[in-house]
Amino acid sequence: MALSSPDAPCSCDCFVSVPPASAIPAVIFAKNSDRPRDEVQEVVFVPAGTHTPGSRLQCTYIEVEQVSETHAVILSRPSWLWGAEMGANEHGVCIGNEAVWTKEPVGEGEALLGMDLLRLALERSSSAREALRVITGLLERYGQGGSCREDPSPFCYHNTFLLADRAEAWVLETAGKLWAAQRIQEGARNISNQLSIGTDISAQHAELQAHARAQGWWSGQGPFDFAQVFSLTQQPVRMEAAKARFQAGRELLQQQQGAITAEVMMGILRNKESGICMDSGGFRTTASMVSILPQDPTQPCVHFLTATPDPSRSVFKPFIFGVGVAQAPQVLSPTFGAQDPVRTLPRFKTQVDRRHSLYRGHQAALRLMESEQDLGQQLQQKQQDLEQEGLEAAQRLLAGKWTPTPQELGGLFQAFVERESQAYA
């Protein structure tokens, strides 16, 4: 029996700011990934690729048909699975996903995880709108399903997505194979583990309304409100908590309308009072990401990733796609091949240590922060200084005051990861 109840702790928060809500002419994207507290998230760079026609691609549980060309991507992902919780591609498309439960039952069969759909969309799209088409097409063909945690007792859910590019953003909310989407052309928007699209639907599954009528969820009279029609009548405790986080996130964005920057988004992701920076009931924020997507296509997009839990005590490090980009080994988890508990059936009967070297160093640093006040404060100051340096480098780059070589840009994230590792050593 799959545990598909939203009473099980699971939460995430995604945010986007589209001008004029942003302080600069850029779309700004942000996400906190809230997952089982000991789950390790790695940051993986996958270069662009060409593939043999008709070849198959192994995702977390199932295979899908591969496409002839895939884009370069940077992914923040739970290290046991194929997909990702959040990421970006070389064309400035960013996506984050969230768990959601609706009146549509959550299937127990293995299909594509929402995290697989996210990575597939990044690899196959050059705009947010195209990413929406990729996800909905794959959803129609393969469906979504399978356990979303590395545990013998399955934990399943459907997904909502926030998709952004240099020009606009889209919210995509699913219920099984059905879906509704909302286009965001200006202003700020957030999503938090619940359906949030009401009557303002920009695109939808062809059978969405007919299905709702057939199930007796909608009379067919008056405007069709997706969230109202498809949300569970009895909202479980966890969903109520998500509602409070959604409201808090919306208010934090509204307070900064017209002044939203990458730093503002980082501050929101670090907000513990609202539960957005979370640590409760066996779950916590395991990784975070903020991206600047300039409207000017000649300017590079800058993606800041932590690769470590608890953004209030982590460093957002800048990543920019460029000629010299390579995988930073310190944020890559060990692999276990055919012996991996996710590959052997029945799945997840054993446990392996997936911690990468930055995660280990960060764990030791957190222990110091909690046990030795002076040393802990020094470490936190080092973190803040390093992050500030990355933010200033991004500002100089976007203001045209710094013109690094493509190799320098490509090696930026690696350089910051190395310096953070040294601070913990």
Q: With residue 72 as reference, give the H or E element that holds it.
A: none
The residues assigned a catalytic role are: 12
Task: For the chain, give the percent of residues with pLDDT over 70.
Answer: 97
> What is the dihedral sign for C-alpha 334, 337, 343, 348?
negative
Q: Could you report the per-residue pLDDT of 181-219, keeping only the tens digit for each?
A: 999 999 999 999 999 999 999 999 999 999 999 999 999
Nearest CA among 58, 160, 54, 72 for reference residue 112: 58
Contact assessment for residue 212 and residue 103, using Cβ atoms and an 8 Å cutoff: no
DSSP symbol at 217: S
Nearest one of 315, 395, 373, 306 to 41, comparing CA atoms: 306
pLDDT at 5 over 80: no
Spatial distance between the Cα atoms of 285 and 52, rounded to a whole number of angstroms? 38
Q: How confident is the model at residue 7 (pLDDT cuts 50, 70, 90)?
A: very low
Which tens digit of pLDDT belongs to each residue from 249-265? 999 999 999 999 999 99
Of the listed ranges 6-10, 144-148, 289-293, 362-366, the one predicted with least confidence: 6-10
For residue 312, list its beta bridge partners.
none
Kindly report the length of the chain.
425
Residues 238-249: pLDDT tens digits?
Answer: 677 788 999 999
Q: What pLDDT sits at residue 324?
A: 86
Is it the case that residue 4 has pLDDT exceeding 90? Answer: no
CA 34 to chain centre: 10
**SS3 (DSSP) at 379:** helix
CA distance 128 to 139: 16
- What gap in Å lies between CA 175 and CA 157, rounded to an integer? 9
**Coil, helix or strand at residue 57:** strand
Q: Give the separation between CA 144 and CA 107, rounded to whole angstroms.
A: 8
Question: Which of helix, strand or coil describes residue 237?
Answer: helix
Extract the tokens encoding 53. 């026609």
DSSP letter (8 states) at residue 140: H
Q: Which pLDDT value is given to residue 6? A: 44
Local confidence band at 282 (pLDDT 50, 70, 90 cut-offs): confident
- 201: phi then psi, degrees, rounded to nearest 5: -100, 125
Q: Could you tell me if 71 and 317 are in contact, meaning their C-beta atoms sit under 8 angstroms apart? A: no
Looking at every residue in the chain, the average pLDDT score rounds to 95
| Of 22, 33, 152, 132, residue with least CA distance to 84 | 33
- Write down the pLDDT at residue 238: 67
Tens digit of pLDDT for each residue in 373-394?
999 999 999 999 999 999 999 9
Could you give the C-alpha distances from 327 to 11, 49, 199, 356, 411, in angstroms and in order?
Answer: 29, 15, 43, 13, 9
pLDDT of residue 240: 75
Above 70 in pLDDT, residue 146? yes
Tokens of 136: 């909905």
**Residue 241: its pLDDT value, please?**
79
3-state secondary structure at position 30 = strand
Q: Is the pLDDT of residue 161 over 60?
A: yes
d(CA 318, CA 290): 9
End-to-end CA distance of the chain: 45
Task: Please state, in angstroms and rounded to a whole number, the distance separating the CA atoms of residues 202 and 67.
Answer: 27
The DSSP element (H or E) to which 100 belongs, if any, is: strand 94-100
Q: What is the pLDDT of residue 74?
A: 98
Is 2's pLDDT higher than 90? no
pLDDT, tens only, 69-101: 999 999 999 999 999 999 999 999 999 999 999
Confidence of residue 126 (pLDDT cuts 50, 70, 90): very high
Give the pLDDT score at 237: 72
Nearest alpha-carbon partner for 31 in 44, 17, 42: 17
